[in-house]
Amino acid sequence: MERRVVLAREHHVVCDVADKALTRMRGLLGRRGLQSGHGLLIEPTWSVHTWFMRFPIDVVFLDRDLTVLKIRKHMGPWRTAARFRARSVLELAAGECDRLHLEVGDRLAFAQ
Reported as a single tens digit per residue, the pLDDT across 52-96 is: 999 999 999 999 999 999 999 999 999 999 999 999 999 999 999
CATH number at residue 103: 2.60.120.1140
Q: How many structural domains does the chain have?
A: 1
| CA dihedral angle for residue 58, residue 61, residue 62, residue 68, rounded to 10 degrees | -70
Asked whether 49 and 24 are in contact (CB, 8 A), the reply is no
| Residue-range definition of the domain harbouring residue 27 | 3-110
pTM: 0.91
